[in-house]
């Protein structure tokens, strides 16, 4: 058997709770070619350089796998994306810029909706308070199911105008789709293979659900961003139906999945670092830099997989040939000792913390302003109100997905919930 590369080992499910030793190994070769022709970039400096390099495409259709023929490539690609148009994460300028401008207008656009997100602060506070109140009489809580998940899903549904009553359905579709996605050596396992069709079915169902919702809003305008985008009559017009559908899917999915992981990981990390937890209790204002550090420490998006080199790119002594897939490993760049002093230590007051948790460049996280508010409120109130929280299982069980890495459950024993 051929020995696995550090990257392949990092992707194994058994290492999901702690991929960091493998990342450290990986960083010895900042740009590491994998057996399948993918170039994995693990050091901060190189990741940032490629995030700003206009010879890198984010459009998955531009990847040419060295190991597959064109025909296989086309068949694979169309099957994988289930004939969806590119969304803003998987497109390049000028289309990307155009589409993102149209979305920004209805989210936090400086000219059109500057207060849209900050005005949600009271509502976020109410949801957080309600979730904590509901756990008052419990001695054991699951931070994921009872706290980290409900907050973002409630907010994103409201912002988009997706009925919250449909949450059990779209939650299940997203889960099955996520579980079927694997970039590591276990992708060829029987277990994963048996989930592939289910995953595709999940995406199809989600797509149909959103398409119907957009149709409904086309006939009858309603609350939220999706309806507003359907009826956008601004200077740049509105998105084509297919592009709007792709981006609506992206917003619903990314709009809560990543935030769930950040809240769950933040609580987990603080419970593992009692000094930091104490400090945050004493100085609640540290929640603002604290959330940045928590996101650096456990990134909600560990890497991204749709980029490729449009031209030959020479970087860190390696030539990435044109067409090669490029994986930028944010989770590793955030622990790069060349950039962050003592990167494996949690420092809520870390100076110059320009982490990669939201990426950088033109694909900088669209929802970052919302995520920051949600996580600051959730983690800040958890720390303030939950009495004597203790981890029950450490490490907790993780979800299968490698990109959107996060615990499936975080069980915590508590002595009560303060007012």
Interaction site with another protein (CB under 8 A): 48-49, 52-57, 59, 62, 92-94, 97, 309-311, 361-362, 364
| Of residues 106 and 363, the one with the C-beta less far from another protein | 363
Distance of CA 374 to the CA centre of its chain: 14
140 burial type by CB count under 10 A (0-12 exposed, 13-18 middle, 19+ buried): exposed
Which run of H or of E encompasses 320? Answer: strand 318-320
Q: Helices in 220-273 by DSSP H: which ranges?
A: 225-230, 241-272
* Least spacing, CB of residue 109 vs another protein, in Å: 13
* Least spacing, CB of residue 368 vs another protein, in Å: 14
Distance of CA 153 to the CA centre of its chain: 14
| Of residues 48 and 252, the one with the C-beta less far from another protein | 48
| Of residues 92 and 381, the one with the C-beta less far from another protein | 92
* Least spacing, CB of residue 52 vs another protein, in Å: 4
Cα 393-397-399 angle, rounded to 5 deg: 155
Answer for the pair 33, 318: CB distance below 8 angstroms, yes or no.
yes
| Of residues 92 and 347, the one with the C-beta less far from another protein | 92
| Of residues 17 and 319, the one with the C-beta less far from another protein | 319
**Within 13 Å and on the Cβ side, how many CA atoms surround 76?**
13
* Least spacing, CB of residue 116 vs another protein, in Å: 18
Burial 32-44 (b: 16+ CB within 10 A, else e): bbeeebbbbbbbb
| Of residues 176 and 359, the one with the C-beta less far from another protein | 359
Answer for the pair 277, 388: CB distance below 8 angstroms, yes or no.
no
- Whole-angstrom distance, CA of residue 394 vs CA of residue 418: 25
| Of residues 216 and 318, the one with the C-beta less far from another protein | 318
* Least spacing, CB of residue 94 vs another protein, in Å: 5
Residue 119 DSSP label:
G
* Least spacing, CB of residue 359 vs another protein, in Å: 11
The pair of structure tokens assigned to 118 is 């900050």
| Of residues 41 and 56, the one with the C-beta less far from another protein | 56
Distance of CA 245 to the CA centre of its chain: 19
* Least spacing, CB of residue 104 vs another protein, in Å: 13
* Least spacing, CB of residue 252 vs another protein, in Å: 25
Cα distances (Å, whole numbers) of residue 148 to 39, 53, 89, 293, 408: 34, 35, 24, 18, 11
């Amino acid at each position: 058997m051929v020995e696995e590369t550090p990257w392949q080992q990092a992707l194994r499910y058994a290492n999901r709770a702690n991929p960091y030793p493998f990342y450290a190994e990986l960083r010895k070769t900042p740009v590491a070619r994998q057996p399948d022709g993918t170039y994995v970039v693990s050091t901060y400096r190189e990741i940032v350089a490629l995030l700003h390099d206009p010879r890198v495409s984010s459009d998955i259709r531009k990847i040419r796998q060295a190991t597959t023929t064109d025909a296989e490539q086309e068949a694979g690609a169309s099957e994988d994306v289930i004939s969806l148009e590119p969304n803003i994460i998987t497109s390049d300028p000028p289309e990307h810029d155009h589409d993102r401008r149209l979305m920004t207008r209805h989210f936090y656009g400086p000219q059109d909706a500057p207060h849209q997100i900050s005005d949600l602060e009271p509502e976020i506070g109410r949801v957080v308070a309600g979730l904590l109140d509901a756990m008052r009489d419990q001695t054991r809580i699951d931070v994921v199911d009872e706290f980290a998940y409900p907050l973002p899903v409630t907010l994103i549904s409201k912002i988009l105008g997706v009925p919250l009553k449909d949450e059990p359905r779209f939650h299940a579709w997203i889960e099955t789709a996520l579980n079927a996605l694997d970039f590591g050596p276990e992708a060829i396992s029987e277990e994963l293979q048996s989930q592939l069709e289910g995953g595709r079915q999940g995406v199809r169902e989600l797509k149909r659900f959103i398409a119907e919702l957009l149709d409904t809003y086309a006939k009858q305008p309603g609350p939220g961003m999706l309806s507003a985008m359907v009826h956008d009559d601004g200077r740049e017009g509105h998105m084509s139906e297919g592009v709007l559908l792709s981006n609506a899917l992206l917003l619903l999915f990314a709009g809560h999945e990543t935030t769930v992981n950040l809240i769950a990981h933040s609580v987990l990390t603080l419970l593992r670092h009692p000094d930091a937890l104490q400090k945050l209790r004493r100085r609640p204002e540290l929640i603002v830099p604290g959330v940045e550090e928590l996101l650096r420490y456990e990134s909600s998006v560990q890497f991204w997989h749709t980029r490729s080199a449009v031209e030959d790119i020479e970087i860190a002594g390696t030539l990435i040939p044109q067409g090669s897939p490029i994986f930028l490993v944010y989770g590793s760049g955030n622990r790069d000792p060349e950039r962050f002093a003592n990167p494996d230590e949690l420092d809520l007051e870390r100076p110059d913390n320009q982490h990669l948790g939201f990426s950088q460049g033109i694909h900088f996280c669209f929802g970052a302003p919302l995520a920051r508010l949600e996580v600051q409120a959730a983690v800040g109130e958890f720390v303030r109100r939950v009495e004597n929280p203790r981890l029950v299982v450490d490490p907790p069980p993780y979800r299968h997905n490698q990109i959107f890495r996060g615990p499936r459950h975080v069980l915590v024993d508590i002595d009560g919930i303060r007012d």
